[in-house]
Amino acid sequence: MSEQADLFPRAPILDWLPGETLFSLVSRIHGLWGAQDAGRTASLLFGDRRRGTQHDLPGHLGDFVARTEGLLGDADALARERTLLAFYRHFMSERAEQAAVEDMVSGNIAHLKFRMGLLTSRFRANHPLKACVACMSRDVQEYGWAYWHTRHQHPGVWWCRDHGVFLRESRLKSTA
């Protein structure tokens, strides 16, 4: 029996929290499973230990949807709503947005940030993970988890509109 077939009868899959990023959900699943190796979690959810680790514009969303049996949504919605494409798509043509979605679904993301014009923009392609301390406290009280909110990850956003405080920036490399 395949690793994928064995996965879901024994391992729980969490549901989305409000405004949660895909990276956050995968991180929470990793924690829930008690996995010590992020590569193992990536392999189970994306089909390879090096896939799906990008927090901003991840690839292999099609594999993720197949391996989770579509329980968390379709790849198109994941790309458009649960990644930083949710921010950038408003500045893109429909054709460019669809191409970005297709790249993220297939895993062809090696030059995605370049094709989106991020490497030469004022914001550049650096997307540090950011969080509001007050939101984290509220999240733990309401949901039992602190999680990465999509709206906090948008380029140029450094202030939590709910709590009126500066966001904290993670200094850790967020891949893997």
128-163: per-residue pLDDT in tens? Answer: 999 999 999 999 999 999 999 999 999 989 999 999
Helices then strands, counting H and E runs in the chain, come out as: 10, 4
One-letter amino acid for residue 27 of the chain: S
pLDDT at 6 > cutoff 80: no
pLDDT band at 1 (very low <50, low <70, confident <90, very high): very low
Residue 129 makes CB contacts below 8 A (sequence gap 6+) with: 23, 55, 148, 153, 169, 170, 172, 174
How big is the CA angle at 43 (ends 41 and 47), to the nearest 5 degrees?
140
- Average of pLDDT values for 107-123? 84
Flag the least confident range among 3-7, 77-81, 102-106, 156-160.
3-7
| DSSP tag of 135 | H
Per-residue model confidence (pLDDT) at position 52: 83
Structural domain spans, the chain = 3-120, 130-169
